[in-house]
Structure 1
Amino acid sequence: MSTAHKKSDAYQHASGGWGSVKAVAGALIQEQAPVETSRVLMHQNKPDGFMCVSCSWAKPAHPHRFEFCESGAKATAWDTTSRRVDPKFFRQHTLAELEQWHDQALENAGRLCAPMRWDAELDQYVEVSWEHAFGEIGRELQAMKPDEAVFYTSGRASLETAYMYQLFARMYGTNNLPDSSNMCHESTSVGLTEAIGVGVGTITLDDFKHTDLMFFFGQNVGTNSPRMLHDLQEARERGVPIITFNPIREPGLVSFVNPQSPRQMLTPGATQISTQYHQLKAGGDSAAIVGICKAVIEADDHAQATGAARILDVDFIAQHTQGFDDFANYVRNTGWDEIESRCALPRVALTAAADEYMRAKAVIIHYGMGLTQHRMGVQNVRMIVNLLLLRGNIGKPGSGPSPIRGHSNVQGQRTVGVTEKPELAPLDKLADQYHFMPPRTQGMATVDACQGVIDGKVRAVFQLGGNLVRSVPDRYVIEPSWRKLRLTVNIATKLNRSHLVHGEVSYLLPCLSRIEIDERLGKPQAVSMEDSTGCMHGSHGVTQPASDRLLSEQAIVAGIAKATLESSSVDWDAWSNDYALVRDAIAETYPDIFHDFNARIWEPGGFHRPLPARERKWKTKSGKAEFLVPQTLDEDPDMPERRPGDLRLFTLRSDSQFNTTIYTHDDRFRGVYGSRMVLLMNQQDIERHGLAADSEVSLEAVSPDSVKRQVDGFRIIPFDLPVGCVAGYYPECNPLIPLSHHAKESKVPAAKAVPVRIVAAQAA
């Protein structure tokens, strides 16, 4: 496949608008079903339809006529494609041949159609019966120790499937239940739980109506959750300032043209989104927040000294928090020179943000993986909370932390028990409910599972969706070990690299998409998921299945469970034929969240999980919201001393991408076309390294071990980003990230600040 590319001028238009309309039309045409998919889109995120399979942004009680965004439309077109990967396809291609295909070409081949088993002699997947697949998988699992198996879950699985999956794994005997949270927002789950007693955000859509200031840290709303732009636009139209901290100026956070507004579509106007935009150094978030806090505390100290009105919410701090004095003293003693150096922003920028914060009465702080995927990612999250606590901005309308989850049900899976941490699962309740002894030992997070594969401790990997081989760090180290696994099982809708890098026994089990009609015993079934704001929504399919050989995720999990477990109190057949029974079981396990689950599943806007912090009830060790004194403002304190010329790499997703799914090789927002093997660099860094635009370079990771990690074939593109930082695409840059380079407490891969150096270059 050609890797030619060109660099256009910087994108000159607002996000949304005609560019978005054109991109959606192109996606529909590409998948060869433009008329049918257009009809399907009218049911997306609607009470009479299905919840989007891409991002997890909140679904309103009163949806727009077109309640989908460009990213969601692409994901729907991708699933409803007319292309098919059937047994004939696999007869025409060996896996060795398919390994040479690009990720985009693999998924673009179409929907998987029948259960397949790898044939070693042919090096091809061959069709088998579902009974054969379940039987052999069960026998393989029975032949190994439970903790030798890993059960991974991507964010697309429904609440019903996730609950069945975790229950099966624990009945089998393991807590090895990593999921995509480990790759992105586990820093949130750890940090918020420590600080305010709940591991998810505290805002709802209604808070947008009451806020009078919003911050963004490390979140690209224009490509990762574009439907959110409607809520931001409405807030801006009533004068709410939005302050953004991000290394790159992302169009979605600069301006927006609403494709559903004839006035905006037919006039040159656009809504300015960010009123302040600060391009901080990658990894400089904690330092920037300390700077804002310092300005606020200094202003309060001055007010106190002069008898003026206090800036801090001293009553809230006294009644509801712990640790303020230690944090305030740390901030007072941290010099502005250090703060400016660590975040690469001047004091005047940070005080400008602080001035807006001090004027506001209700503040929301949105953040994404640009904050969580760091060595100090948990600290970054805790710093968000510190800033909010200074003026009582948790537990009142229009305020609170707002982690933007990237996948449709990644938050919900954790809510119903998919976790490697036994202390977070209701094991006593499960034991009583299902009459078995759940395992109590710590399970493996994603990076632990990868290390286990390398060490030979893991012999089987299940993937309920996802593309782990491509998405995890240290790909060149991990792939050779992955091929030595005894068993790999993939439940998927489309072909990806994880299906080609396989174990001795490998199964590819195709499932229904959430968009497809799921009938069991002649009765249509519905599923549910949780959005980023903690609301639960029902969803049912609207299109015919891609193949009559497909099974639902629930039926596949049930089939494997029946074939594996010698005894079980669960009627797996009944559950796989009636998902309402699964919801009743979930409600019994989690009555505080899911009581009357089946009765509430279709409430407009979803029903909300209880969030004690919204009521200023703090389920922390101290019983109060807790300030944290930062350990360090260095984004990566354990790395070797940097040499002159070392750079800080942070990974990106393009506007034509969802996780490892690549829709096209173009990224119109950044003016990149035809290739993803590009490196965005500041012009000063280009000149300092003796390079020029379009130079070809290799990157080598700077790491404390002796493993050489290098990726070749990048082309340089001059770009507006901080000096000393470079940006490249995920997952192409993953081989440069050591498996050990992860957030300290949460083990989230630290993909947003990777020390690298240029080791080879030549003129184009």
Structure 2
Amino acid sequence: MTDRKETHQREDLPHYDHPSGGWGSLKSVAKHMGQERPSAGVMETLMRQNKPGGHMCTSCAWTKPPNPHIAEFCENGAKATLWDLTRDRCGPDFFARHTVSELRTWPDYDLEIEGRLTHPMRYDPVSDKYVEATWDEAFSAIGAKLREIRAKDPKSVVFYASGRASLETSYLYALLARLYGNNNLPDSSNMCHETTSVGLKNVTGSSVGTCVLSDFDHCDMILFFGQNTGTNSPRFLHPLRAAKKRGCQIVTFNPVREAGLVTFRDPQNPVEMLGGKETVISDRYLQLKPGGDVAVLAGLCKRVFEVDDEQGGGVIDRQFVAQHTSGWPEFEAKIREIDWADIERVSGLRHEDIVEVGEMYCNSEKVIGIYGMGLTQHVHGSLNIAMYVNLLLMRGNIGREGAGISPVRGHSNVQGQRTVGISEKPELVPLDKIDELFGFKSPRDEGTTTVDAVKGILDGSIKGFVSLGGNFARAIPDQGRADPAWQDLEINVQIATKLNRSHTLVGKEAWLLPCLVRSELDMQATGPQAVSMEDSLSMIHGSEGKREPASKMLRSEPFIVAGIAKATLDPNPKVKWDDWVGDYALVRDLIEETYPDKFTDFNARLFTAGGFYKGNPARERTWKTETGKAIFTAPKTLSALGQVPDKDSYTLVTVRSNDQFNTTIYGFNDRLRGLKTDRHVVMMNPEMIAKAGLTEGQEVTLSCAVDDGETREVGGLRVVPYDLPDDTVLAYYPETNPLVPLDYHDELSKTPAYKGVPVRIRA
């Protein structure tokens, strides 16, 4: 086994030889500024980004501080805004030149780089092209088809939402689905953090994290598991830098050495930019094996018991455990019986390294646990989260200042959509209140998750698909197997800003409905409109765009949702679509009335600096669990993997590049990993390359090693040596999504196991 003790960069392998941030970030923004050629005023737009009275970034969900920096945007936030405000246009003339069959063969990047969609478009099967339509034509035809399907089976239509849509849009969209007759409201969290929503709720009673931004001013230790801050939430590096400056210790566990958690140079600090010393972020960076998180967390818990025994008590917060938790005896017995040799074997880390971090934890008063999709996207992802909570509960590190569990969400409002009713789980939504407000009976049966929706498309039980943003067909597991089945849909409606692969998988009817982006002026009957969203730390922020829309034919997301609803549903005097579209403040009043405990004085607090907190019972040590207390979990396995690699297989971890957000590819420079690539690569350490009889640059095929009767392969991948644990291969998402079986997902949440797929390599 390769020695994984410390994480000093192997200089002989591809890597980024600079701090994250710094001149590299500025050069990257400048490059994309030239590529997109945004119209004049883009800098003013960026300077308003993530500030009170400005627009909230459409990229990551990291929180916005009450006292923002001069530039409160990061490299990837700038890319997202520049991507939105490009001068390029994808209008009727473009679609007149290309058939849909041709566009289906284009790479993702080539589709999106064509620019902003400008007109409503209808798929014409005779010419195999999208043709221009009016909004009235679009709504009338969509409504007629949805009514026709509803008459046969209202549960055969899916209303999918990406994580970008505002709270106002999301509330109306969820209402549309329930008035239609189903809870088929999967969203992008089904593919990333649904494990948090389910797993964290089981053990703390809350489906979201317990920290707020000020906690990072008081913690003395931060643990990172499976989260790549440098690429996915770079603005988070500022509070991390501040924490390090005052002496906070940071330890990172990740199979991949990610530059953003190694060192950081603040692009807004002239001294650092002109040669000052960068900030070392991680005091320890340990590259565990994929799926080894359960074992590491069990080892840390075990060391807490050992130190408590050695010191005669005082390390474990037994008063907190007795008052606030359940399940302690079973948990303690299980952890004590686990053998260190098994922990080392499964984690790929040495006993002494885990012990060292465990002792750092024991000596720290206030600890925050950070995690990302490296924990959630596993077959035993929910156990990962439960084990993390175990560790924090042992020393009372949940429900007090400077401590807590803090998942870092991806898309900018993916958490907020769930808050205001986009959920397939009826028990999570105040349906009685909704029925009272709008005078109808909401469906009470469970709707479709993302996995269920794909199964329904495959077996033909889903007849219609409405997508509020996103690139669903590209983001899903079993991607290649599902593609042909889209043609059997009665209707596929896509609300979007740019062309993507989901738009080329047309059904018998297909519509492209172009919408405003968040930085654009949204003018309705009562004047300019603001929207809102919720960040990873449960803060609610207002957002108002100022830019001239890319096309006079663009409409806002609330307008489009209302247009579909009015054409589809029977009139209801309590459902006032036109009033709500004319004044979004009325929608916020409805949200407040539906969720009074979270949205008191919503409109009055909309532009509160730093947002307003929606609250979290677990932060107050009120545990809404089955036992009425936080729950300790005794692990039944030490690996989060569904299938541990044998001598002929490896564990595939799918990742995003530095030039990427979700399925959107901005370019081909994975700068923070030291790679410039066409993305068709597979990375593994040199020892594994040699052991497999392969050579650098050799072309190989990856095949899924799950034996379920299906053949799943992705070929044309070049071998790249990279610093990774043994038995591990790294490749890009979504290019390798076809390798992930639809049923290979977290046991509780059905989140696809993108971070732990068993694969084989064939030259």
**TM bin (shorter chain):** over 0.9
> By how many angstroms is 1:659 displaced?
0.2
The answer to whether the 8 A contact 1:84-1:110 is kept is yes
1:4 maps to none
1:593 partner SS: coil
1:203 partner SS: coil
2:129 maps to 124
Q: d(CA) in 2 for partners of 1:279 and 1:630?
A: 22
Aligned ranges for residues 603-682 of structure 1 at < 5 Å? 603-637=608-642, 639=643, 642-682=645-685
1:216 partner SS: strand
Match of 2:170 among 138, 155, 162: 162
1:28 aligns with 2:25: no
Match of 2:120 among 115, 121, 130: 115
Stretches of structure 1 lacking an aligned partner (at least 5 in a row): 1-6
Q: d(CA) in 1 for partners of 2:697 and 2:319?
A: 58
The answer to whether the 8 A contact 2:382-2:746 is kept is yes
Match of 2:306 among 298, 301, 304: 298
2:252 maps to 244
2:511 partner SS: strand
2:736 maps to 733
Aligned partner letter, 2:510: S
The answer to whether the 8 A contact 2:51-2:609 is kept is no
The answer to whether the 8 A contact 2:13-2:721 is kept is no
Match of 2:468 among 464, 467, 474: 464
The answer to whether the 8 A contact 1:162-1:413 is kept is yes
> By how many angstroms is 1:158 displaced?
0.1
Aligned partner letter, 2:249: P
Q: d(CA) in 2 for partners of 1:303 and 1:745?
A: 38
Q: Deviations over 1:201-224 (max 9, x none)?
A: 010100011101000000000000
1:597 partner SS: coil
Q: Deviations over 1:350-392 (max 9, x none)?
A: 1111011001111001000000000001111111110000000
Match of 1:38 among 43, 46, 52: 43
Q: d(CA) in 2 for partners of 1:232 and 1:9?
A: 26
> By how many angstroms is 1:35 displaced?
4.8
1:278 aligns with 2:247: no
Q: d(CA) in 1 for partners of 2:40 and 2:670?
A: 25
Q: d(CA) in 2 for partners of 1:37 and 1:292?
A: 48
1:630 partner SS: coil
Aligned ranges for residues 491-570 of structure 1 at < 5 Å? 491-521=495-525, 523-568=527-572, 569-570=574-575
Residues 733 and 37 of structure 1: is their aligned pair in 2 closer, same or farther, counting only changes over 3 Å? same
1:691 aligns with 2:694: yes
The answer to whether the 8 A contact 2:230-2:259 is kept is yes
Q: d(CA) in 2 for partners of 1:253 and 1:731?
A: 24
> By how many angstroms is 1:396 displaced?
0.7
1:17 aligns with 2:22: yes
The answer to whether the 8 A contact 2:683-2:720 is kept is yes
> By how many angstroms is 1:303 displaced?
2.5
The answer to whether the 8 A contact 2:196-2:385 is kept is yes
1:190 maps to 198
> By how many angstroms is 1:71 displaced?
0.5
> By how many angstroms is 1:596 displaced?
1.1
Aligned ranges for residues 738-749 of structure 1 at < 5 Å? 738-749=741-752
Aligned partner letter, 1:394: I
1:354 partner SS: helix
> By how many angstroms is 1:482 displaced?
1.4
2:510 partner SS: strand
Aligned ranges for residues 44-55 of structure 1 at < 5 Å? 44-55=49-60
Q: Deviations over 1:108-152 (max 9, x none)?
A: 100000100000111111111111111111111111121000000
> By how many angstroms is 1:268 displaced?
4.8
Aligned ranges for residues 405-424 of structure 1 at < 5 Å? 405-424=409-428
Q: d(CA) in 2 for partners of 1:397 and 1:510?
A: 44
The answer to whether the 8 A contact 2:264-2:278 is kept is yes
> By how many angstroms is 1:301 displaced?
2.1
2:75 maps to 70
Q: d(CA) in 1 for partners of 2:391 and 2:725?
A: 24
Aligned partner letter, 2:555: L
> By how many angstroms is 1:674 displaced?
3.6
1:61 maps to 66
Q: Deviations over 1:235-290 (max 9, x none)?
A: 00001000000001100000000000000000152100000100000111111100
Aligned partner letter, 2:63: A
RMSD between aligned residues:
1.1
2:597 partner SS: helix
2:603 partner SS: helix
Q: Deviations over 1:477-525 (max 9, x none)?
A: 1001112111100000000000001111000000000110001126000
Q: d(CA) in 2 for partners of 1:704 and 1:468?
A: 26
Q: d(CA) in 2 for partners of 1:326 and 1:534?
A: 33
2:76 partner SS: helix
Q: d(CA) in 2 for partners of 1:218 and 1:746?
A: 18
Q: d(CA) in 2 for partners of 1:35 and 1:575?
A: 32
Q: Deviations over 1:541-575 (max 9, x none)?
A: 02100000011000000000001111322110111
Q: d(CA) in 2 for partners of 1:489 and 1:631?
A: 44
Aligned partner letter, 1:256: F
Q: d(CA) in 2 for partners of 1:96 and 1:408?
A: 33
Q: d(CA) in 2 for partners of 1:628 and 1:98?
A: 49
Aligned ranges for residues 249-264 of structure 1 at < 5 Å? 249-264=257-272
> By how many angstroms is 1:9 displaced?
4.2
1:717 aligns with 2:725: no
1:218 maps to 226
2:706 maps to 703
1:91 partner SS: helix
2:274 maps to 266
The answer to whether the 8 A contact 2:222-2:367 is kept is yes
1:82 partner SS: coil
1:87 aligns with 2:95: no
Q: Deviations over 1:180-238 (max 9, x none)?
A: 11011111011111111110001010001110100000000000000000000000000
Q: d(CA) in 1 for partners of 2:110 and 2:694?
A: 32
The answer to whether the 8 A contact 1:521-1:577 is kept is yes
Aligned ranges for residues 315-326 of structure 1 at < 5 Å? 315-326=319-330
Q: Deviations over 1:419-456 (max 9, x none)?
A: 00011111111111111000011100000000111111
1:325 partner SS: helix
The answer to whether the 8 A contact 1:681-1:720 is kept is yes
1:754 maps to 757
1:590 maps to 595
Identity of aligned residues (%): 53
2:141 maps to 136
Q: d(CA) in 1 for partners of 2:307 and 2:737?
A: 43
2:353 maps to 349
The answer to whether the 8 A contact 1:386-1:628 is kept is yes
Q: TM-score, normalised by structure 1?
A: 0.97
Q: d(CA) in 2 for partners of 1:570 and 1:596?
A: 22
1:575 maps to 580
> By how many angstroms is 1:642 displaced?
4.7
Q: d(CA) in 2 for partners of 1:434 and 1:696?
A: 59
Q: TM-score, normalised by structure 2?
A: 0.97
> By how many angstroms is 1:8 displaced?
8.2
The answer to whether the 8 A contact 2:96-2:131 is kept is yes
Stretches of structure 2 lacking an aligned partner (at least 5 in a row): 1-11
> By how many angstroms is 1:635 displaced?
2.6
Aligned partner letter, 1:696: E
Q: d(CA) in 1 for partners of 2:560 and 2:750?
A: 30
Q: d(CA) in 1 for partners of 2:213 and 2:267?
A: 21
1:134 partner SS: helix
Structure 1 outlier segments of 4+, above 6 Å: none
